[in-house]
Chains A and B, each alone.
Chain A
């Protein structure tokens, strides 16, 4: 197990070449892909998320950890698919209509991936219809909406209304965030959850789908 600890700490340092090498070594040593994912990559990413939440590290340090995660996933992904390992959940993430800010959304997506979620990235300026389609046609069981402008927050409500019309509300869980968004606003518009940062977003997503 020692090398999974080392893998986790390489990820925490953002050392992509080491993560790639250690992942391959773990595979060669006969450790299952799911175990490598959980005990190495995700374990490391959880610490990164926690430190970021506590303001102990800066955004660039999260970004290099995510890059290192990616280096390990290149090896692991095909093995996970072959072994039939399912993602813990599928979340369709997007910045809402009229809003072009995507840095926060991308960080949340990274953290979600880092914790075993499949992320469908819908990009920026995402219309309510596009969110609904992602839930209907791409099998997302969670929707994550990001808004950074007070003027685009109403687009979140519009998406929830659209989900309601499509009969998806309740079946698909809605998670919202972004600097001006609050828990109070989330409750007001009937979103299932709110989180103030990328690490809490993962906890909340897991809670919403009963993990």
Chain B
């Protein structure tokens, strides 16, 4: 089967999950490598690694995760950390082109991370958050994105290495926020050609029942709006089924062949 047109970043190796935190602490390579392999096989182009639960040891654990994961799968990683030292240590051992996940449009965080991205010519994720607030409105998100991309390209980062994240918020607590992020995507596309737009919809369903349904539906809508990279668990079959369906509906699956083969393979639910 052809790979999906949507670029998927696998989020499972995150230290906020108890089993991952434990595996990191015990240096359980087998478990981490298994988590990496299943995501890669299920269609993740990138694997995200996070050791943020360990404030003190992150600088030691993050490079360990990089080495461990890349010993098992041949994929570039997203280095999920707010700590520049940990990111630097991870970049030192990373093979291929990593992506720094993430910065906000705040001087302090830009000053710490941007030189690392330039030095290692890797990718970087920028959230549409500035030092003043976390805007909900689409226009404001786009404005921050434009300023941030300007600063990043001025520093020497290529546009195709920039991933703008317009920040998905939980609709259960901020009912207007869902549609604003969706509205921000085409605005950002039009204002800043050549960059990537990434969303993670795991949070959209926070505090609501049947979370996978909301996540899958939101991702499909974000794809229609122009998102090209998604932070999602490719091992979640119901979410993946929606992604495959959305690609067929959006004309990104020639003759719907991928949709049909996914059906034959039983990936779209019961035949």
Interface size on B, residues (CB 8 A): 15
Would you list the 4 A-B pairs with minimal beta carbon distance, nearest first? A59-B207, A103-B173, A100-B134, A59-B172
Question: Within 8 Å of chain A (Cβ to Cβ): is B250?
Answer: no
Q: A100-B133, A103-B170, A124-B133 are in contact. Are A60 and B55 (CB under 8 A)?
A: no
Interface size on A, residues (CB 8 A): 10
Interface 0/1 of A112-142, CB less than 8 Å to B: 0000000000001000000000000000000
Q: Is A100 a contact partner of B129 (Cβ separation < 8 A)?
A: yes
- B contact residues around A151 at 8 Å (CB): 55, 82
Determine chain B's interface SS by DSSP, over half rule.
Answer: loop
How many A-B residue contacts, CB cutoff 8 Å?
27
7 pairs across A/B with beta carbons < 8 Å? A58-B172, A58-B208, A60-B208, A107-B173, A150-B53, A150-B55, A151-B55
Tell me how far the C-beta of B25 lies from the nearest C-beta in chain A, rounded to whole angstroms.
16
Residue B251, interface by CB 8 Å: no
A contact set with B: CB distance below 8 Å:
58-60, 63, 100, 103, 107, 124, 150-151
Closest to B173 in A: A103
Q: How far is the CA of A151 from the CA of B133 in the complex (A)?
A: 18
Please report B residues at the A interface, Cβ cutoff 8 Å: 52-53, 55, 82, 129, 133-134, 170, 172-175, 207-209
Asked if B207 and A58 make an inter-chain contact with CB atoms under 8 angstroms apart, the answer reads yes
On whether the beta carbons of A103 and B133 are closer than 8 Å, the reply is no
Residue A60 contacts which of B52, B82, B134, B175 (CB distance < 8 angstroms)?
B175
Q: Which residues of A contact B207 (CB under 8 A)?
A: 58-60
Q: When the two chains form their complex, are residues A58 and B209 in contact, meaning their CB atoms are under 8 A apart?
A: yes
Could you tell me if B133 and A60 are in contact, using CB atoms closer than 8 angstroms? no
A103 partner residues in chain B, CB cutoff 8 A: 170, 173-174
What are the residues of chain A within 8 A of B208 when measuring CB–CB? 58-60
